[in-house]
Structures are given as structure tokens and as C-alpha cells.
Amino acid sequence: MRITDVAAAAGVSAITVSRALNAPELLSKATLRRVLSAVERMGYVPNLTAGALSSRRSRMIVAIVPTIASPMYAETLQAFTDVLSQAGYHVVLGLGGFDGRDEEQLITTLLGRQPEGLLLVGAVQSTGARRRLAEAMIPVVQIWGDASTAADLQVGFSHASVGEAVANHLCDRGYRAFGVVSSDDPRALERLEGFRRGLQRRGLLLATQRLMPPPSTLMEGRAALEPLLRDLPRHGAVFCSSDLLAAGLLIEAGVRGVRIPGELAICGFGDLEIGRAMEPALTTVSVDGTEMGQLAARCLVDRLAGNRIPRRLSVPAEIIQRGTT
Amino acid sequence: MRITDVAAAAGVSAITVSRALNAPELLSKATLRRVLSAVERMGYVPNLTAGALSSRRSRMIVAIVPTIASPMYAETLQAFTDVLSQAGYHVVLGLGGFDGRDEEQLITTLLGRQPEGLLLVGAVQSTGARRRLAEAMIPVVQIWGDASTAADLQVGFSHASVGEAVANHLCDRGYRAFGVVSSDDPRALERLEGFRRGLQRRGLLLATQRLMPPPSTLMEGRAALEPLLRDLPRHGAVFCSSDLLAAGLLIEAGVRGVRIPGELAICGFGDLEIGRAMEPALTTVSVDGTEMGQLAARCLVDRLAGNRIPRRLSVPAEIIQRGTT
DNA sequence: CGCTTCAATGACATCGCTAACATTGATGGG
DNA sequence: CCCATCAATGTTAGCGATGTCATTGAAGCG
């Protein structure tokens, strides 16, 4: 069924039906009612593909995320999609993984959909992909971004500063020996670097670090405890790149009877529900993934509506002092 | 840049460029090479919207999921998207929530994209939405489905049987007093009903049940322990609708010094990582969310390729006996 | 009353691609 | 040597909507 069918049924022209659906204020009350009732009666569903081609407005936004299997990204994407859906956009999902392989390929085919905007979690790695994005001439919001790569629009926080702040916080609480258990994705590595620098500023060193490929899991956290205890002096503190790793440590500590924070202090990252629910509750860094997703979405919507918006937005990343440090 | 620009640059007609990209086997080696090099050189990205309109093949699949904030669905969707992406489809995300509000609206606008297939988590609630789906004449795969609602294609398992199997399992292990802590989404309720029936068959009754709105959280699990202990005789067993609830009980039990499974046995659902990582590890029902997502995707791909495929596929749901029962 | 103005509607071309059919020229069999 | 055949490429006409400009008629105004 096409728009012309509805038009015929309502005794108007195709464009009038189009207007009834897209710009009802242009029609007289009577016509509008007649057309809408025909639409309703016939169960007409407009072909958005055709509409997009004609109007050059696809009303689609592409979201490129490493994975949604990780709760942090899932939460962000959920919020992002909710807001955009409200604003009348559809979200096309691109799962890129953590390595840059196929990145350009993925971005290219998705750009072929003529999205009006794009969400990017983390940085674009390949220059080819970067060029493609630039050529697309659409707003790109980057979230969870590294400082290094400047996208068009950015919603996030400085991972390096977070690392440094955690270092300071732990020093202030009196810890003097430090370890890191971290995934080796670019954002985690930036936090680690900041952490290390923060320690250096205080004249302290990192005693041990353990890197592993993303995504991080509880099990990896559990497995990390034993080597950590070996390498780190008693009363040390460990900074984990994810609450999952931290919670894993906590669980294993429970099993082994290691007192937390007495024998080992733990700071996580992400403020996931699991951290809040553990006993003792996890000290962690809270970044509001939901807010970040919402902000990113609103950025795009505003920008597409022609409003001027700030190119950089910060969401706060704050250390939540709880029971494990 | 349009396809004709590339065609001009390569000294061929538009359709030849189209074929170079979509049906290279139809072209001579020389022409193919010439065209592809022009495509490459000019950085041409085909407009898939136009292509979709013309060919009536959108190469898009719509996925409608209650939420991706829940790890189970996120995992399934991840697998689903991965497979489809491999097969050259893009996934458009629809987040429907758990209530049926706006369901028809959401489905309708998404159908306007002319997707070639659709993934549905759970059942369609409104009849309006069901009619719309039927009229769209595209394959619809339903996963995590209730038995009641027969979609076009179905990949899943019987929630009721799972509930019954858990009842039997717990009875067989000698428990005689039973409780349930559950979300009240339709699928969880079906499991609950099966559980109750299973108990009845054995001449046993449910001593207490506590329902709460989805999504389930660890915190709700923790909060559920105290009333549960009040209402349920010692040495009872509780069936939770999610590993998150179960893990919450487990954490709270640790805090209160309630011995698991000595004083309280716990069975979860979902086989999430957290259940495996807890100590004692959680007895649970494992349904492979990844496999379900992959299967659903393959169903669609096969069907769209014109192959005959079974209308119902089962993925196994098996009880994993671990430390909490 | 004639002219402007504006609200309401329509006609037509167009968005960028591909399906369907047409054409071309080389190949090979009788 | 002619003609059927087939591989390789081209021509034309849409796909289903909307942008743009044109048209209509009623209202307002001096």
C-alpha cells in the first residue's frame, strides 16, 4: 500500500496525505480528519525509506559501541536509544569490538544508510575510518572518549584525571603500596597512566600491574587475587579498571578470608550495581552512564534541530568512598 | 557523490558500478578492476537508502527487546547482531520496555523502515501490533517467548517446563518447603506457574512468594532475604526468576551468617556470570542467550535466503547443580 | 468592486539506486 | 559463412515518498 492509495481513498492528493502525517498544521481541520481516518482505516504505514530518500532526512542515528555485553555500555546505549526514540529517530546498532579490525568497513556500510548523526564509544582507530566520518558531514558524538582524539562533539570526562584522582584519594587514605588490575582497552590504559602519574607526583610507585584483554569479568577478578597478594605488600591498595574485576577480587577475598580493606584495599571503576550490592560495598569511580547516553542523544537532537551546542560536555566522574578502601 | 559520478570516472554506466558492488561475477575482470579502483579512489559510499527503495531489499532487521540493561537480553542481542552483521544486515534497535504501552506505535514506525525481518523478545501484547506484524509479511522470530503466543518463527524453550523441572530437582534433593522471589514479567510468571504446578504434582505447596516489577536487581535480592527467612521454614528452598535476585540473596546471607544451602537453598535462573563467580556458586537454570541470539539470526538469514527452516527451534534449558542447593 | 494576501491544496520533478529488458559483439557449430 | 548463443554492458523506467512552485478561492481592505 502506498501513499497514493490512501490519497485516493481520502479523495485528496498524495502530498496532502504526506502533510497530514508530517506537517498537520498546514491542513484544514476537516481534511486532516478525513485523511487520518483513511490512514487509520487502511492501516497505512509510511515507507520511511522512500521518505528518507526524498527528503534527505533519514531520521536514523548510528551507534557504534564496542560491545553491549558489558553493563556500562549497555546502560549508556539504553539511555541514548530511549531519548532518540522519543525524538523520533531510530537507532542502528554497530558492534565494533575492541580491536580496530573491520572498523572502517563497519563504519562505511553504516554511513551508507545516510544516518543523520553518529554515536561513537571510544575513539576511532583507523585513519581511513576517520576520513570517512569527516566526509559524511554529519554530527558525531564521542563518549567515553580518550582525550587524544577529538571528534566533532564530545561527551565524557578525562580518564587520565580519574586515574590521578584515584591515586590521590588512596594516598590520602594512607595507603602506600599500589597495584592495578586492568583491562587493556585504550580507555582503561589511560586511567592506568593517570594513576601511575598521580602516584609519581607523590613519590610513590606502582608495585604490580596485571593487564588482560577486555571485556572484564568477575572470574578474572577472582583469579587476579592470588598473584596480587603475592606481589603487593600487606595493607596495599589496588585500582581495578572495572567494578567487575573489583567485585571478583572481593568475592575471592571472602573465600580466602582476606580482610577487606584491612589487608587489601580495593577501588573499582564504573559504579555498577554489583559494587553497591557487595559487602563491604565497593569504593569506586562513578560515571553516570545513563546521563552520558542521554546527554549524547540530546546533543545530537539539538544539533540536528539547528541549535548551537557546546562541543565538549563533561559528565562528572567522582570517587565514591565506600567500604573497601 | 553518486553512483553516476563513479560510473563517469570509470567510463562505464551506472548499472555497471552497481554490479561491481553487488554482483561482481557478472563483470569482466578488467571492468571490475577499473570500477573498483574508481570506487576506492573516490571514496564512494553507496546510498543504501536509495538501493533499498529500488531493490525492495532493505538489508535491515529490526530487533525489539524490552531492555538491554539486563545482561540476558544484552547477551542475546549481541550475538544476534554479530551474526547478522556478518551476513550483511544492519540491525535497528527498538527498546520496548516491559509494559505494552507504545508497543504498537514502536512496531509501526519501525516497520516503516521496511525491515526484511524482525526479532522479538517475548510476546507481542497488543492485538493492533500483532495485526501490523502480520501485514508486514516478513519473517518474525520470537525468542524467550511464552508458549502462548505463536509467532512466525520461534526460538526458545518452555518457561513452564523449566519451572516444573526446577520443582522436581529441588524435591529430589530433599527440600520440602518452597518460596519464590520473582519479577512479574510474563516469562518469569510462566516459570513460576510451572514451578507451582510441579510442586502440586508432588503434593507440595509454595509457602511464600514475592513478586516485583522488572528489571531485577541484586539489591532487591538482598532486600528479599529477610522476609523470606520469616515466611519460609528452615531448610527451605527458593526459586528466583533471575540470577541477580539469587546472588542478592546470597550476598545478604553472607552478611547475616545464614548458611547456604544449609539453612536456605537457592536456585537462580539465567546462568549469569555472577552466579558462577559467587561462593558458593549458584545452582541455576542455564539457557544459552548467545546461542539463542545466534540461532534466531541464522533463522532469519536462512529464511531470507529462501531456505526452508523449522518453525520452532528449542534451545536446551538445563539445571546446573552447583553449590547453593 | 478590484486588488492583494494568505490559507489550503495540487502537479511535477526528483532523490540515488536497481530490475527488467535491450543491445552488442565474440564464439562456435553446422 | 550464417545464425544461434551467451557473456558483457547499456537504456529506461520505476521504487514511494517529499521539495518546490503553481493554483485556487475566500477574506480583507481602501
DSSP labels for A198-223? HHHHTT--EEEEEEEPSSP-HHHHHH
* CA end-to-end distance (rounded Å), chain A: 64
Q: How high is the pLDDT of residue A97?
A: 81
| Nearest-CA distance B203 → chain A (Å) | 37
Q: How far is the CA of A45 from the C1' of C15 (A)?
A: 20
Residue B148 has pLDDT above 70, yes or no: no
Which of helix, strand or coil describes residue B301? helix
Any A CB within 8 A of B45 CB: yes
pLDDT of residue B54: 97
Tell whether A114 is within 8 A of chain B (Cβ).
yes
pLDDT in tens, A193-219: 999 999 999 999 999 999 999 889 999
- What pLDDT score does A208 carry? 95
Which of B209, B117, B199, B195 lies closest to B158 in space, CA to CA?
B195
Q: What is the pLDDT of residues B79-125, one digit of tens each?
A: 999 999 999 999 999 998 877 778 899 999 999 999 999 999 887 87
Quick check: A218 and B273 CB within 8 A? yes
A276 contact B CB<8A: yes
Q: Which fold has domain A3-46?
A: 434 Repressor (Amino-terminal Domain) (1.10.260)
Which residues in chain A are classed under CATH 3.40.50.2300? 59-157+289-316, 159-286
Across the interface, whether the CB atoms of A81 and B95 are under 8 A apart is answered yes
Query: Chain B contacts of A223, Cβ < 8 Å?
Result: none
CB atoms within 10 A of CB B97: 14
Residue B165: helix, strand or coil by DSSP?
helix
Superfamily for domain range B159-287? Response regulator (3.40.50.2300)
Residues lining strand D, beta carbon within 7 angstroms: A 2-4, 14-15, 17-18, 21-22, 46-47, 50-51, 53-55, 57; B 11-16, 19, 26-28, 30-32, 50, 53-54, 56
Looking only at the bridges linking them, the beta strands covering B312-314 and B153-156 are: parallel
Residue A189 near residue A182, CB atoms below 8 Å = yes
- Shortest CA gap B312–chain A (Å): 26
Of B49, B75, B255, the CB nearest to A52: B49
Question: Would you state the CATH architecture of domain B58-157+289-316?
Answer: 3-Layer(aba) Sandwich (3.40)
Residue A98: predicted pLDDT: 78
pLDDT digits (tens, 9 = 90+) for B25-79: 999 999 999 999 999 999 999 999 999 999 999 999 999 999 998 888 999 999 9
Single-letter amino acid, residue A217: T
List, by residue range, all CATH 1.10.260.40 domains of chain A. Answer: 3-46
Question: What is the domain class of A159-286 according to CATH?
Answer: alpha beta
pLDDT higher than threshold 90 for residue A167: yes
Local confidence band at B147 (pLDDT 50, 70, 90 cut-offs): low
Confidence of residue A39 (pLDDT cuts 50, 70, 90): very high
Contact by Cβ (8 Å): A123, A189: no
Cβ atoms of residues B37 and B6 within 8 Å: no
Query: Which whole number is the average pLDDT over A239-255?
Result: 96
Which three-class secondary structure state does DSSP give residue A5?
Answer: helix
CATH architecture of A59-157+289-316: 3-Layer(aba) Sandwich (3.40)
pLDDT at position A60, please?
A: 98
- Cβ of A218 within 8 Å of Cβ of B274? The answer is yes
